[in-house]
Structure 1
């Protein structure tokens, strides 16, 4: 019983400490008006994506099911957002397109963050030749223009949702890696890390108990800033015809609208809503990321103080 109590004590203290840190961070976040606006906008889009089967008709995404609908119908003739050149309701495409755009943004960001964190931690912690090799690799990816590289990879792998996620993920990690590397170089010089090593702690113990917990806030803040880049990348690739033709996304809508001549026909109801949704989601993630960065990044927190 005594050993269990001894083990439970530190765990309970650690849990209470995390709760206090979360409440303190949430209190600081609520004071950031722009961050709250971004969070509200993001929650709205997430709810739309999750509730898509309840608020839109998936059958209307296929032209064979919309032959009775008028084509190029403005919102005044076909509520709420009109139809495209095939008679498909723009509203249903917009709702289901939110699922694909958010999925690609989050999934590609997870890949980029995992790769960037692993590379940054290994390079900063071990140093030496490994640091040199990984740093040069990161710089090589940064030197190559992102969009041409992504276009080449997407064209080679083929137009599919999985390939788009992989392409964006493996081309978006260098910035994260360099940020994490710099943070690890700073953390590993602190006294408690030296004390842990002096007491005989292994490299894995130091990395798991001291390095990673101190870089995770920066990882989280950087992730929220990477998602909008991934969403814009998916929109760009889809607009260039490299997206998955079987999946409806906001970028795919823009590509089809441009190809069908929506600009010439002044069919604003087809291309304007997806464009505004992309802007709104990107802005929401950016506002959230800036707010979290100011709270979780110790350097920015010190400047505020």
Structure 2
């Protein structure tokens, strides 16, 4: 599997970019101080154009856009990862249970899944975030509990395929219970699909986090790409032509989402033999 993934250049490029972004975000406290991100002690003049001292200019508080963009990656990537874990976890649980038990359990769970599928994720997440206390945890929950249906459908389909194999019947005949069959036989077979689905879900989660923060539904005291764009909208950066406040976080969101998508598509091609045949 690893060798097959390495042969896909787009996936490797995306993975390399994500690793580099994660390392820079983790190392940010080593070269960005609290004063650099403070609205009261910002080192520059508010809304200053790019210069030799501030390569990407400053925001409405006088903070370097380079520092803000790098630090914003910490919150955006964390929210994206946690929301994806929650969404994939819920989706995998629903999919495995529905596919394994079948009958009325499958019918009820899939009807609930279909209900979530037909409703826009962003609308549901916005409604949920608006009734809860604004904060990073609220955004994680809002995204996680609304982005799971696609994973549930994919995992259910794979579970039904695994359930039809002879060794499942042998395991049941030898006294294997539901928990044993799901944990030992089904879960290892659906895990690769869950990984591929997670890489595709995390890009959507980051975009949704930025949107919710842009709408003012996240913690405004936390520096993220979404809150940076929300601040730029509040001060009228677009109408004032101050592109340097808008572009860094916007481009960062696009590049990270694209990188996760490239990795996810490459994993799909590795895990799905039909896609490999078309290449």
Deviation at 1:158? Answer: 2.3
TM-score, normalised to structure 1's length? Answer: 0.88
Q: Aligned partners of 1:148 and 1:222: how far apart in 2?
A: 22
**Matched residue count:** 279
The equivalent residue for 1:60 is 36
Deviation at 1:291? Answer: 0.8
Q: Would the aligned equivalents of 2:46 and 2:60 in 1 still touch at CA under 8 Å?
A: yes
The equivalent residue for 1:280 is 255
Q: Aligned partners of 1:170 and 1:57: how far apart in 2?
A: 35
Q: Would the aligned equivalents of 2:96 and 2:155 in 1 still touch at CA under 8 Å?
A: yes
Task: After TM superposition, list the pairs within 5 Å mapping 1:145-160 onto structure 2.
Answer: 145-160=120-135
Deviation at 1:104? Answer: 0.4
CA deviation vs aligned residue, 1:55-100 (integer Å, no higher than 9, x gap) = 322322111112x622211111642221112212211111110000
Structure 2 residues not aligned, in runs of 5+: none
TM-score, normalised to structure 2's length? Answer: 0.96
How well do the aligned residues superpose, as a CA RMSD in angstroms?
1.5
The equivalent residue for 1:144 is 119
Task: After TM superposition, list the pairs within 5 Å mapping 1:262-277 onto structure 2.
Answer: 262-277=237-252
| Pairing partner for 2:89 from 109, 114, 122 | 114
CA deviation vs aligned residue, 1:30-75 (integer Å, no higher than 9, x gap) = 1000001101110111011100112322322111112x62221111
| Pairing partner for 2:217 from 202, 219, 242 | 242
CA deviation vs aligned residue, 1:93-149 (integer Å, no higher than 9, x gap) = 111100000000000000001100000000000011111110011111111221111
Q: Aligned partners of 1:246 and 1:107: how far apart in 2?
A: 19
| Pairing partner for 2:104 from 126, 129, 141 | 129
Q: Aligned partners of 1:35 and 1:227: how far apart in 2?
A: 15
| Cα distance change of structure 1 residues 246 and 155 upon mapping to structure 2, 3 Å threshold | same
Q: Would the aligned equivalents of 1:101 and 1:250 in 2 still touch at CA under 8 Å?
A: yes
Largest Rg, 1 or 2 = 1
Q: Would the aligned equivalents of 1:254 and 1:271 in 2 still touch at CA under 8 Å?
A: yes
Aligned to 2:49, the other structure's residue is in SS state coil
The equivalent residue for 1:197 is 172
| Cα distance change of structure 1 residues 39 and 123 upon mapping to structure 2, 3 Å threshold | same
